[in-house]
């Protein structure tokens, strides 16, 4: 599940637990990137409306990173007289828009709770084993390490796990230490457009449910950066891509692999209580998920009920020698 459903409407997408001041949790690079790629007139106006009554610190943060050509509109809209209901609506829109970033940064444990039950198809790592075993691997957008640990399981020598969110990096470091993997999994802060590694320093680059064609989640500049750190003859694997990005990936020379499954793949929540909690939090837009859990009294929910393609596919690209 790649973050950032970038549609911009007022529908309830999530049972959103966040408050506008929570946006202060994002670091400067993330804030800058969000504003660089989301500053249409409509978003800028809603952003300004959502910040009515917010702290000076938060308003100044947005003003600092908003592209110059939008600053006047922002100032004008932040001074506009608004009814409390208009501010509430704007806040809801903005918090829904940045829901996933807030989850990664503010409540990474909830992300861990959701994804620990989303098991990647083991055939993906079996198929990629020749490119992973005894190799130096980079996992970009590594999150709490779901794919990094899979790389180690099939014998990767070293995995550089690059991730922007400090909260997810903290969980990744804890898991790495608990599993005695500190010599092999090296977490560090970074982004698709700023990978903290030298040129031609890794054999294989992977990105699981993180790279998209959108510039703030990789895009053409992210692809260039992945190619920069890859050794000649190396491979990039984009695991569990968004369907919306298949065409873009094909146009950029990637090849598609989909693994067969016997029966349905499911999300296996850690407990019934956790399944209900996650369904209410993450799938409020799809009441069928909660209905399914309650009606079946189950902790395992098929991806088809959730309305997501299951994690059983990837795109790959080889860098010519």
Ligand X SMILES: C[S@@+](CC[C@H](N)C(=O)[O-])C[C@H]1O[C@@H](n2cnc3c(N)ncnc32)[C@H](O)[C@@H]1O
Residues near ligand X (CB under 6 A):
1-3, 104, 115, 140-143, 146-147, 163-165, 168, 191-192, 208-210, 216-217
- Residue 125 has what DSSP assignment? H
Q: Name the residue with tokens 């609506």.
A: 89
- If the CB atoms of residues 20 and 102 are measured against ligand X, the closer one turns out to be 102
- If the CB atoms of residues 50 and 209 are measured against ligand X, the closer one turns out to be 209
The H or E element containing residue 256 is strand 255-258
Of 231, 234, 160, 245, residue with least CA distance to 200: 231
Q: Rounded distance, CA 293 to CA 270, Å?
A: 13
Contact (Cβ atoms closer than 8 angstroms) between residue 220 and residue 192:
no
Q: Are strands 230-239 and 202-208 parallel, antiparallel or unpaired?
A: parallel
- If the CB atoms of residues 168 and 230 are measured against ligand X, the closer one turns out to be 168
- List, in order, residues 6 or more apart from 118 with CB less than 8 Å away: 1, 146, 267, 311
CB of residue 267 to ligand X, shortest distance in Å: 13
CB of residue 14 to ligand X, shortest distance in Å: 14
CB of residue 242 to ligand X, shortest distance in Å: 10
CB of residue 152 to ligand X, shortest distance in Å: 14
- If the CB atoms of residues 113 and 163 are measured against ligand X, the closer one turns out to be 163
Residue closest to ligand X, measured at CB: 143
- If the CB atoms of residues 75 and 221 are measured against ligand X, the closer one turns out to be 221
Contact (Cβ atoms closer than 8 angstroms) between residue 86 and residue 45:
no
CB-side neighbour CA atoms (13 Å) of 265: 18
CB of residue 146 to ligand X, shortest distance in Å: 4
CB of residue 83 to ligand X, shortest distance in Å: 35
- If the CB atoms of residues 165 and 299 are measured against ligand X, the closer one turns out to be 165
Q: Rounded distance, CA 167 to CA 229, Å?
A: 25
């Amino acid at each position: 599940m790649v973050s950032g459903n970038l549609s911009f409407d007022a529908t309830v997408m999530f049972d959103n637990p966040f408050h506008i001041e929570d946006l202060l949790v994002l670091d400067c690079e993330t804030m800058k990137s969000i504003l660089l790629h989301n500053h249409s007139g409509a978003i800028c106006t809603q952003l300004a409306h959502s910040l009515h009554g917010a702290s000076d610190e938060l308003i100044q943060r947005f003003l600092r990173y908003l592209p110059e050509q939008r600053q006047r509109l922002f100032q004008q809209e932040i001074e506009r007289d608004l009814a409390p209901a208009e501010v509430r609506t704007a806040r809801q829109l903005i918090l829904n828009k940045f829901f996933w970033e807030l989850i990664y940064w503010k409540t990474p444990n909830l992300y861990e709770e959701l994804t620990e039950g989303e098991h990647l198809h083991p055939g993906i790592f079996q198929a990629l084993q020749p490119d992973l075993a005894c190799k130096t691997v980079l996992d970009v957008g590594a999150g709490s390490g779901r794919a990094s640990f899979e790389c180690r399981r099939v014998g990767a020598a070293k995995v550089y796990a690059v991730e922007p969110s400090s909260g997810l990096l903290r969980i990744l470091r804890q898991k790495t230490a608990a599993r005695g993997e500190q010599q092999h999994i090296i977490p560090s802060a970074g982004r698709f457009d700023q990978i903290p590694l030298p040129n031609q320093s890794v054999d294989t680059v992977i990105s699981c449910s993180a790279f998209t064609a959108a510039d703030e989640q990789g895009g053409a500049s992210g692809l260039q950066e992945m190619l920069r750190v890859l050794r000649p003859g190396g491979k990039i694997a984009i695991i569990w891509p968004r369907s919306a990005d298949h065409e873009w990936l094909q146009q950029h020379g990637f090849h598609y692999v989909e693994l067969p499954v016997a029966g349905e793949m499911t999300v296996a929540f850690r407990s019934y209580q956790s399944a209900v909690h996650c369904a209410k939090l993450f799938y409020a837009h799809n009441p069928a998920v909660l209905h399914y859990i309650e009606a079946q009294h189950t902790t395992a929910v098929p991806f088809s009920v959730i309305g997501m393609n299951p994690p059983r596919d990837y795109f790959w690209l080889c860098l010519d020698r």
